Structure formats: structure tokens, C-alpha cells
Structure 1
């Protein structure tokens, strides 16, 4: 209650302000009499003075009673809190403490501050720390409980109303590799490879750094790394499983299975942080708003905290690392960009772990000096692909038919390394292979997404409509409205929408359920009701569909904003899109471009004929756009952009693609020093999905180095013959080749490693592969490889259990004992070796 400093001279105002609290009766007649008395007493100073003393005594008594009552209440409250703190330290009955009304929370925090302050003043720092630890446990339990509820379900699209999948039931491990910190140039992320000669030990160390890594070891330093890992950037292409990986990581922590050394994990997707980009707030404000159960949390280095920022490619913040204002206080307000840059750089909460996921093209937003490790999600390996379909499809017989079909198509099986493509393929193929009707099976990325959209339209029609029709029930206006929404927001890199956005595109938000297979809505705690497509790749496909239908039906270029109508041909729109994709800093138009090019093919036009007013030959258009894309290669775009152009040619079924890749790399246009791990993955994908015969792999057509050979191992594994002579290969490549020879799926029967400095150490690695029961190698050439007696001894031992029938060792120095050992094996009828040079 506010009390004026000079009560005597302000008595009337105090009396009026406190009259209701003092429960004094309000009688107008009495008030009038008092004014009359005051008037009479002006002439009698003594009576006025006595009157004033009596009034001061009433006020004093009134305040005494109020503050006595206030003191009692505060003492009771403090005693209660202190009793609770004692229970915390004894770990008794503290479960309900975290469930506190918001209006009381700040008062309880003040009581805690007082307790901690006086405990430290009394030199009981140990008790103060123990009390903080006990309170942290309560907040941690509440956070884990809420994260469990949020992350235990996964929606792969929209299942039947009210249904979702339990993540732990369908989750399939992803193949993740760890690499070093990447360097960057002004345009894009690149990975520097040391050009000078290094020792074998250094090469082995480099190789180990790029081996498979488990999530639980994401922040664990390698033996030779002295600096702790604080910031990790995990990259991967669209749909490869980055967000699911994050979801599984958080769920395992919340359920107490993994990472229990971390006290708090705060998953903050960029798509949600974007909504606060214009606000001034503190880091504490952000945490409290998104995770209110942590209110009262102390920001201290005593506890390990992790922030997970999912989807850097969706971030709309400038992230101006070189221009930002240094910020170190987690409780002080600043722009969100300032908070984020200082948190990532380590000025804010320097002990906090930072995990950022992104598409490769956007990784350059984080300067390399602020990143301790780069990892890459490469999706599913061959075993994991099969495992996914068996978990996803409960009907074992149907699952087997789908797996057999996927394995029977090399292009489909390769593309299933992308988890979202597995989900879409499972959805489509269940409908096709689950019936007796024989239909054409989609083979390309665009065909599969088109069939997926058709499937969702048919399902929606059966559920919400009306009738069963033999033709596809295209709702042309509805699809185009949805396409307009997808395109307009994709162009601006917006991935979530509100009701006003839907209205602007002619969509009634209440009708969004009609498109539940491709769209979803969510009512968040702070965000209100938001809408999005079930996956970003779905938005990119529908945006491309809208773009293509507009130009094909109306000769309209949707990229043009002017009201003046200009007729545009399909080829013009395709060229414009190629240019815009090349100009994009974060690659948000890359997949959109691939879909648009795919839709321009006649095979896909047949699938969407219900949306087109007319169709025509696209052979000339295809020829022109292929030529235009190849012209772009001559302008030397960044490696990331170049790789996407290879993807685009692949989508156009260009027969000359592989030769172009080989020529482009061999000419030095795309050197190994410029390629990131993700870009190498893309290159492998292009080679594997081509129609080119891969039975013979010739490294000289690419780059003659250990690095290139190791990166192209998946292609080598598909070959029967590997020609690797005169390629500067060392022990590193022998170790890599050993893994291929030992694989069950290896097809290699002939390898030529002539004229490479393999030395004895390399031959020993190779011999480990020769001894494997899976090795099918029959012919091996090792001429001029600097092999001595030690290497010959290892070969003699390996030949006892290998399938080799021909071995070339010319140009080496075996010594007398080496020759003798191989002669003994050649003359022994129990061994398979027939010819030795």
C-alpha cells in the first residue's frame, strides 16, 4: 500500500485512499459535520492540534494492524518455503512443487533467492548448491514429461483421424557420418582436403574422422582431438531424416535412456523462432515462453544444457556474425538475431552444447570458426531400407512384395536412402501392389510424388465426398489454390501459414481436412493455429505442379509480379527457374526445380492430364533445357549448385549425364578440394541412378586420388571390374577396398591397382579383404606398387584362403624368400591360384 512521505500534511488523501481497507463507515452526514468542525476549529488552534493527534494515532494503529498481518503472512509463507527447501534436500515429497500458479511463481523465486543469498552469507555454499540441484531435478522432470508427450508420436503425413505412429515402434537407425570442420569461400560451403603429401598415419586419421558415428557420440571428441566439441552442424538433403533424428535424440533423453549427463535439452525449430524475429527478448524469455515448466531456472555453467536448432535452411534471421553486438547476459533483452549469434559463438552460455541441422546449401550461414564438428545424415543404407518397410507395413506378405519390387528397380532402391521417399513409396506401393490390378509402377522422383498426390486425392474423395469414380477426382480449383499457397510461400522461404494466408489463396481453413494427406494444422501453445505441408518436399512438389499448370494452361509465368500479362512458354519458365535456383543462397528452390523439370516430361504429363487443358510434345523443350543446364556448367557455378544441376539432368533422363560428370571432374571443373561430404553423396547418387552400365569402374575418368576413390566406393561396389591403375592411391585406398571386398553385396571379381605407391602396409590391408569369405575377387594386378618381402609374405598367407586365380606382381622387389613362398603356393594343387606374373 503506497504511503505518502508526509502523513500529517496529506491526511485527507490518505484517509480517502485507505477508507475501504480500514473498514470505516461512509456517512455523508458525518462527512458534512466533519467539514463544519474543521471550519469552526480554524479559529481554535489548540482544538485543531488535538484533532490532528487523534487522526495520526488512528492512521498509526491502522498501519500497525495491516503490517502485523502482512508480517504474519510473510513469515508463514517463508516458513513454508524453507520447509519445502529442507524437503528438497532430504528428497521428500517434492513432486507437486513444480505445479505452481504463474502469479505465484515470481514470489516463490524471490523466496528462493533470499534463501540462497543468506545460505551463502552464512558460508554454506554446499547447501546452496545442493538446494539448486534439487530444484533443477523438479524442473527437469516437468520438461522431460512434456517433451515425452510432444515427441513420442510421429506423423508421416496425416494418418487416419486421431491416429499417429509411435516413434519407437517405426524408428529405423540412420546412417550418419562425422567429418572435420569445413571451410567456406564467399559463395558456399566447401571442404578443404590437404594437397601436400601426408604420412600414412595422418591419412588414416583423416579417414577415421569421416566414418559412421552414432548420435550418442555426436559431441564426443576423437582421441586425437583435445578441444571439446561444443557446436555440431548436421547437414543432409531434404527428407533425409534430420528432424526425425532430432526427435529420436530428444525422446531418448526425455525417457531417461540416453544422454543423462545433460540437464536440459531445448529443441527450438527455426520455423517457430522465425515468428519472434522482430521482437526484443532475452534468452531467458525465449526459454520460459517455449518451455514454461522451466521458469525459475538458474542460468549457470554448473549444468550441461543443450540447444537444438532444427532447420537452419528455414531460418529467416540474418545471422550477422561479423556485425553483431556482443551479448553475455541471458536475462537482458536484445534482438533475436543478437541472441542467436552470441549463443552460437559462445558469448552467451559458453558451456551450452549447440546442435544445428540444415540442408547443405544453408550450412555456410554459420562461419566455420564457430563449428567444432560437421556431421552428415546420409539416410538409410541397404539393410535399413528393408528394415523400414518391414516396420512400416504390418502385412508381411505385402511388405515382401514391396521390398522385392523396390530391389528390382535400381533407381527406386537407390532413392530409398531418403527416408521421406521410403514413406511416400510405401504409401503409393501399398495402394498399387495391394490390389490385383496391374498398373505402371513409378520409377522417378517426380513420378512417385505425382502418384502420391493422386493417392491422397482419391482417398480424400472416398472419405469426404461423395462417390466412387473411375477417373481421378481432380479438384482443379482446390489443387491450384493449394499450389498458389505452396508457391507463394516457398518463394519467400516461408514454411508455415496462418488462416489469413489460406484466405488470400482462396482456401477456407475449415476445408483443410480435405487435403489432410498433404497438409496439416497444429494449434500450438504460443503460435496459435498454424498450417503447413506434411513435409517440405511435398510443398516443393505442389508448388512446382502449380507453376507448370499455370504456364501450360495459361502461358503464365508465376514468378512475374506485374499485372501486365505476358505470354510465356514452358521453356522460358524452366530457364527462369534454373537461374533463380542457382542464385538461391540456401538452396530452397533446388528440389522445386527438379520437380518442375520432371513434370515437363510427357510421361508425367499423362499422370496430371486432368489438370491440363492440353498436352503437347515436350521433346524440343527437354532438348533445350538440357542444353541450357549444360551451358550453366561452363559458367562455373559453385559445387553445391553444380551438384543440383546433375540431379536435374538425372530427372530429365539425360543419357549423357554420367559422361558429363566424368568429363567435368576430370577437367578440374569440380575438384575434390571443393566438395563437401554431402556433395560427394549427391554425386554418388547421380552415378548410381543413371542408366549407364556400372560393371566397369574406371577411376581415371574422375579424380586420381584416395579421397575420390573412397567417396565413390558405393559405385565401386556395384562394379565387377575396378580399373585403378596410375591413380596415386596409397594405403588409404587399400583399407577402403578391403571394406568392399569383405561386403556380402560386393560384385568385384577383377581389380587393377598397378603403378600406385601402395607399399607393404597397403598390401597388408588388402590381404585382410582377400581372406574374407565374402570376397569374390579372381584377378588382382599389383605391378609396380613398391611391394617388398614383407608384402609378399602377407600375400602368401592370404592366398591360402582366397579365390584368386590370377595375380600380377611385376615390378616389385620380393627378395628370394618372397618368390619362394609364392612358388610353393602356385605349385600346390590345394590352392586356386593358376597364374602368377
Structure 2
């Protein structure tokens, strides 16, 4: 470790130190300075023809980069999945993810135990991979990072695609021709060389990292083989390699060759806000614009992507171009959905350029053909061969508003993947073809990577959204009808297959499509007004819950909403609460809700006049804010009949607030407080509350609440003074002890109307059987008794059995699992059943897990005239 520390210190000093440069090194740095010092942004509509150029040091907004070895499965859309992961990263990056800066990319990696020579930078389209690499090179040029490298070579695969077979040396000289006379000398010191290759996913050559054919710098090969050989260190051993790629590309390559893999997460909230400030000149306007966008969950979530931020800010500037820059942004005038945003973006470009309608439609059709071809063939960069096969000539200046040309004008790409997907959807409304549209819909749904494309198709079904493009020509209403019909059928199919996780995820994606339509009537027609929505075990982000809120608000009533194990947390719950007034039964079991969510839950209870059952089991609601939830139960607006709070870290203090709240509640019938630390339960308060005439509680579940024999005193009073109580679950406690007889005496009281008593696993012994037998003889209401898991076998067990088979007993169901039953007791049971006794009420007797012999079991079956005997 000491050696490692010394080596690391020397490396840091070398990277940050000033070194005298040769004339050639100065020339190389100056060349890279010229190509990286400016950030070129695509020009907004109605601006001068020239692209906008900014100093990268002034315009660059820091991106969040984390070290990770995890990649998404191909079942999720890249942009959506990262949006979900983005919010998770806020909580996880300090624990499981290592946030990393540019100057540490090639520092010692604890995951592989060495200094990395090959590093992969991954991120979704538009998240800033190329810009980050440009910033990396520029920072090296100005001596800010990695001065250990004498030469950094920066390549883009979209440019390298133009090269067929080429030698490694010619590949370098093709871009850095001034190195021709000295390249042999430069390559002899590989430890001072860094090669950057940007856009692996755009390479037309196969890059197989399992192979490394090239071992000579003068050997002609294709670009894929050269890059693979560099990474595998077979071409020039000791050099450093930095690659970028979309995550989906890494699913098909061997990533084990990289010693460090990092992912660009894009912008978090502060970085998004800074981008707005950088984009707009007026600070007051930028703040208002940012706040307006923040209110729209979908648009704000996608702002983690820098390219999307540019599109959004461009649209905002267009929406307010006729107003003073500091004027108040009107929320009603801003786009509400992803589709409306892109329609506004396209419509403004077209109106600002004001060409004739025929020219516009021709360009839109060409863009639609390009986009569709790219999606079908997974092409992001179109070369001249692609364009010729599609019969597209991009010399019309309108193309430059939606496409980006490479440094070599022979290849083009859409501004962003979402722009490509938008035009792929729009073409179906411009040139309607029933067969092609149905095929696109089905392939997009099955593919699992075209959720945004589906949202655009759905959003364009809305006539108001389409009307924004009406000046360019009529868009097909037939396409709209087909999409709406398709949505209805697929939602119906997903709802019918409720138990399948895949169907639940598909249903959630279709909810996003419904949201894009902004058609609440369509929601009702698709889902129905009394539908059970089950999304249990599907991980839901705050954005997912905002979409779900739209669905619920569109319906008049929802019988049941099951969100068990959905990772619902405070932020997401806050978005869902306003729509819960339509839900009758709500399950939020097994989520990560803490007591800070109690205020939101209280709000949901206070505004919901339909909610009958609320299941909050297996959360973390116990705490100082629990009183908010408890107080809501005392509200006259609260109509909850069943409240489940098991396993919530509740304490006796929590119960104090709860008891106080339900004292006058006339609707509550069942409370489950199982698996909470309720020793010292404050049963004095419980017995007072439950004996109140206004209280109608019928079921009280206190399983695993750390209750002891001392609690039996107050439990006895509670049993006597609560005439409405029908079920009492006291299982898995430790009630055996000197005060247990007092509780049994309470069961004998004529005022006791308990029908079901659960005492399983309470450390009861055969001595307890005497008191149990007495209670059974005198109680006229008890129908079900569970004594499983206690060690009842012994001298007094016979008293219990005699009482059960006596004429006074009203028990219909007796559970005696795992009580240590012996052959002697089994014989006694048989004798009692065969003797001259009145036939008991008992219809079910469970004696399982008692290790009875086959002989004992057979005798019992013959002797006991019981409908259901389990042995």
C-alpha cells in the first residue's frame, strides 16, 4: 500500500506539473486547441445561417459521471431507463457508485486493483459523451489534466467510417498529417500516448474485443480490428485508450477488456438550472423558464440530457420571442407533453423559414423516410450511400435545421435520437399507410426500445397537438383512429394479464402513451371506471407516479390500486396523492415510505371520501411525523374501514397518537399493528378508546409486537370492554406468565364477543391449558382458536381436549399445529371422541406437524367425526 501511495503521488505530480514541450508537441497541441476550444451549437430557428460558437470553458456545464460496472438489459428504452436511474443515483452515488472527475479516469481502480489502460465512457444519446471528450482534450491542451501524455489523438467513428482498409499509421496521419516525419519516433514511447475514439455505437466496422489481429503499425486492416488491437494491447503495448459508446452497444461486446467503465448521468437539478442560465442571457428570465419547466414532470425529467435541454430552451425562447425577456412565462402557453414540445419545435422552424408548402412537405417526407430507415436498421449516422438509396438530397436549407453534418460533410445525423423518432412517427400522419402503421406499432411494442416513438405516435393522435402543424398541410385523421384503437386493445390485453410483470411494465408504458394523448375520455374508455390497477413489483419512478396520477384523475373511480413493492418514496408519493381521491382500496406495502411521508398520506386520507382500505405494511412510518397520519384518521372525512400498519417501526408513542385519533372513529373496523415494537403498548389508552361507544373496531392484530405477560392485565380489560371486537391476533408474543390467567378469565366474561383468538407461538405450556379450558367452557362466542407452536403436551393438555369436546364449547375450528402431541394424548383424543359425549361443534381440527405415527393418524380419522381433520 505504501508503494501504491508513492506511485500515485508521483503520477499526480506528473499529471499536474509543467513540462517543457518540443516544437512538434506545441504544434500538435495548437492543432487540438483550434478544434476543441469552441463549442458549436446548432443554430436556433430564425437565427443567422451561421452556427453559434462559444468558448468551451465558458459554455460547458459539468456533467455527473459515475463509475459503474452495471448495464441495462435490452428490454428498456435507453433514455427512459436512465431517467429512472438518474433519480436513484442521487441517493446511491455516495454509497454504491463512485463519482469520478476527468482527472481521475486513468487513476488506480479499486475494482480491478490496477491502473486502467482502457477506459469506456458510456451514456445515452445526447447526454454529452462527445462534448465531454472535447472538454477532456481541451483541458489536456491547456495543461489542466494528464500531462503524463505527450500526445493525445482524438478520433470520431463517424469520420473513421469513411476509411476502408488502412494501416494504423495512415489512420493517424489522415487526421494529423504534420506528424508524418516523426510518427515512428512518437510510437516508440507508447506510455505517453492516449487514443480517444468517440462513438463506438456509430462504427460501421465490427469491433470484436475478443480478437486482436493487428500487431504491426504498417499492417492494413479495417478500423474495427485496429481499435480492438489497441484495446487488447497487441498493437502498441503500453498505450492508453479511451472509448465512448451508448449502453446498448455494450450488450453485444466483451466489456471485460476495460479496466474502468464510467457512465455519464447528465445533468442533476443544479446543473440543469445552470444550463438554463448559460443559454438565456437574462438571469431573471432563465429562472422563470426553469421554474416553469420544473412543474412539468416529463419535460423536467428529460432535462438530464443536454441535447434535450437545448431543444427545450430553444422552444421556450420561441414561445416568448414576442414578449419582453423578463416577462412572466405563461404556463398555459408552454407545451404539456413530449409530443407537443417537438411539434412546437418543428412548427416554429418551418414558420420561421417560411418556404412554400410543397417544399416543406417534401422535406418532411424525406426526413420521415430517413428516420424510419434509421430506426428499422439501427442507424444513427447516414452516409452518402444511405442517402442515395433513400433518394434524399440534403441541399435544401431546411434540412440543416434538423440534421447535423460531420466535419466531413459526407455524413449526417439527426440533432438527437428523439428528433429522429419524432419524424419516424410524424411520417405516418403525413403519408398514411394502414399496413405500415400497424406494423410499426407492433414492432415498437415488441422491441421494447421504442417507447418514445410510441409516445409520439400517440401524442399526434390528439387533434389539438396536430393543429400546431396545420399550416404545413393536413395530417391524417385515419392514422389517429388506428393509433387510438390500437391503444385500447393493448391496454385491455395488459389489464387481463395482471399477474405478469412484463404485462405490467407494458401497461405502464401504455399509460405514458395515454398521457401524451391528453384525452381523458380515452383513458376511461380504455381502462373503465371501476378497474383494478395492479402494478405491484414494478419499480416506479416519481415520473411514473405522476403519469399514474393522470390516469387515476381521468377515471371516476378505481376499485383497487396495488403498488406493493414499487419503490414508492416521498417524492413519488407527493405526485400521486392529489389523484388518490378516486381510489377505494390502496396498497402501498413493501415500499420505502418513511415518517416524512405521513403528511402526504394524511392529505390523501383527508381528501378521499371513497377510500375503504389502506395497506401501509412493511414501510418505515414510525417516527416523529406519524401523528399527522394518526390525526387524519380522526377526521370526519375519513371513511377507512381497514388500516394495515404491520412492520412499520411503530412504538408505543406511535400507538398513543393512533389510539387518540381512532377514539371517535365510527368507520374503522380493522387495524393491523403486527411486527412493531409495542412493548409497554399503552393498553390503558387502547381499552379506553375501544370501549367508547363511537368505536366499532372488530379486528385488532398485534402479532409479533413484543407483548409479555404484563400486557395481559390490560388485554383482559380490553377484551371485556370492547363489545364489537370479533378477532384478536396475539400470535408470536410472550404472553405466558403469571398474568395470562387474567386474560383467560376475561374471555369467560359474558360481555366478551370475540369469535377468533390467535395465540400461536406464545411460549404457552400444558399449565396454561387449565385456564384455556375454563375460558372455552364459559365462552359462547369463540368460533376459532389457534394455539399452534406452543408446547401444550403434558398432564393438563387433557383438560383442554375435554373442554373442546364438551357440550358447552362453541369452537368450530381448532389449530394445534406443532404442539408436541404424543401417542398418549392422541389415544385420549380417540377415547373422548368414542365416548358417550354430546357431538361437539368442532368442524375443523388441525394437528399437522406433530410427528404422529400413521397408526395414530388412522385411529383419529376413524374416531373423530369432523369434516376437516388435518394430521
Name the TM-score class by shorter chain. 0.5 to 0.7
- Where in structure 2 are the equivalents of 1:664-743 lying within 5 Å? 666=536, 685-692=543-550, 701=562, 704=565, 709=567, 715=572
- The corresponding residue for 1:517 is 401
1:177 touches 1:375 (CA, 8 Å); kept in 2? yes
- 2:419 pairs, out of 532, 538, 541, with 538
Comparing 414-423 and 634-643, the one that deviates more:
634-643
SS in 1 for 2:486: helix
Q: Deviations over 1:158-190 (max 9, x none)?
A: 25334423333232222334333449799999x
- 1:598 corresponds to 2:459: yes
Structure 2 residue aligned with 1:455, among 324, 328, 348?
Answer: 348
Shift of residue 369, structure 1, vs aligned partner: 2.7
For 1:394 and 1:380, locate their aligned partners in 2 and report how far apart those are by CA, in whole Å.
Answer: 20
Q: Distance in 2 between matches of 1:592 and 1:756?
A: 38
Taking the aligned partners of 2:549 and 2:92, their CA distance within structure 1 comes to 36
Which structure dedicates a bigger proportion of its chain to helix?
1
Normalised by the length of structure 1, the TM-score is: 0.57
Residues 688-714 of structure 1, C-alpha deviation per residue, up to 9 Å, x if partnerless? 45544999xxxx95564xxx749x675
> Aligned partners of 1:663, 1:215: CA distance in 2, in Å?
46
Tell me which residue corresponds to 1:445: 338
- 1:377 is paired with a residue of what secondary structure? strand
TM-fit CA distance, 1:665: 5.7
Give deviations 1:62-104, integer Å, cap 9, x for gaps.
Answer: xxxxxxxxxxxxxxxxxxxxxxxxxxxxxxxxxxxxxxxxxxx
Residue 577 of structure 1: which of 440, 443, 449 is its match?
A: 440
Cα–Cα, structure 1 residues 640 and 812, in superposed 2: closer, same or farther, change >3 Å?
closer
Q: Say what the alpha-carbon RMSD is for the aligned residues.
A: 5.6
**1:154 corresponds to 2:15:** no
Instruction: Give the TM-score taking structure 2 as reference length.
Output: 0.55
Alignment of 1:405 with 2:289, yes or no, is: no
Write the distance in 2 (CA, Å) between the matches of 1:686 and 1:408. Answer: 15
Q: 1:607 aligns with which of 468, 475, 480?
A: 468
- For 2:810, the equivalent position in structure 1 comes to none
CA contact (8 A) 1:361 1:640 kept: no
Alignment of 1:66-465 (within 5 A): 138-158=23-43, 160-162=48-50, 163-182=52-71, 208-210=95-97, 212-220=99-107, 226-276=113-163, 278-282=164-168, 284-294=169-179, 295-296=183-184, 298-299=186-187, 303-321=191-209, 324=211, 326-349=213-236, 351-436=238-323, 440-461=333-354
5+ long unaligned stretches in structure 1: 1-132, 190-203, 466-470, 552-567, 673-679, 796-807, 820-836
- Secondary structure of the corresponding residue to residue 41 of structure 2: coil
1:21-40 equivalence runs, <5 A = none
CA contact (8 A) 2:209 2:228 kept: yes
Deviations 1:539-593 (A, max 9, x none): 3333432343111xxxxxxxxxxxxxxxx42xx43331234446769x5x66444
Aligned residues: 593
The alignment partner of 1:317 has SS state of coil
Query: Helix, strand or coil for the counterpart of 1:548?
Result: helix
* 8 A contact 1:750–1:778 mirrored in 2: no
Name the SS of the counterpart of 1:319 in structure 2. coil
Structure 2: where are the runs of 5+ without partners? Answer: 1-17, 79-90, 325-329, 554-560, 605-613, 634-642, 655-671, 683-704, 706-871
Q: What's the offset of the Cα at 1:393?
A: 0.7
- Give, in whole Å, the separation in 1 of the partners of 2:603 and 2:493: 38
CA distance, structure 1, for counterparts of residue 630 and residue 99 of structure 2: 26
Cα distance change on mapping 1:229 and 1:637 into 2, 3 Å: farther
Question: In the alignment, what sits opposite 1:121?
Answer: none
Shift, 1:641, TM fit: 9.2
Checking the alignment, whether the CA contact within 8 Å between 2:455 and 2:516 is kept in structure 1 is yes
Does the 8 Å CA contact 2:564/2:588 hold for their aligned counterparts? Answer: no
The alpha-carbon deviation at position 394 of structure 1 amounts to 0.5
Output the CA distance in 2 between the equivalents of 1:321 and 1:641: 35
Question: Is the contact made by 1:389 and 1:399 (CA closer than 8 Å) also made in structure 2?
Answer: yes
Aligned positions of 1:783-802 closer than 5 A = none
Quote the Cα distance in structure 2 between the aligned partners of 1:406 and 1:188: 23
Contact 1:694 / 1:715 at 8 angstroms: preserved in 2? no
In structure 1, C-alpha distance between the alignment counterparts of 2:644 and 2:492, rounded to whole Å: 41
Secondary structure of the equivalent of 2:162? helix
Within 2, Cα distance between the matches of 1:346 and 1:305? Answer: 12
Structure with the bigger RCO (C-alpha within 8 Å, sep 6+) is 1
* Preserved contact between residue 363 and residue 399 of structure 2 (Cα < 8 Å): no
Would the aligned equivalents of 1:574 and 1:596 in 2 still touch at CA under 8 Å? no
Name the SS for the 1:303 alignment partner. helix
SS at match of 1:164: strand
1:484 aligns with 2:369: yes
CA distance in 1, matches of 2:316, 2:258: 41
Q: Is the 8 A contact 1:446 1:598 kept in 2?
A: yes
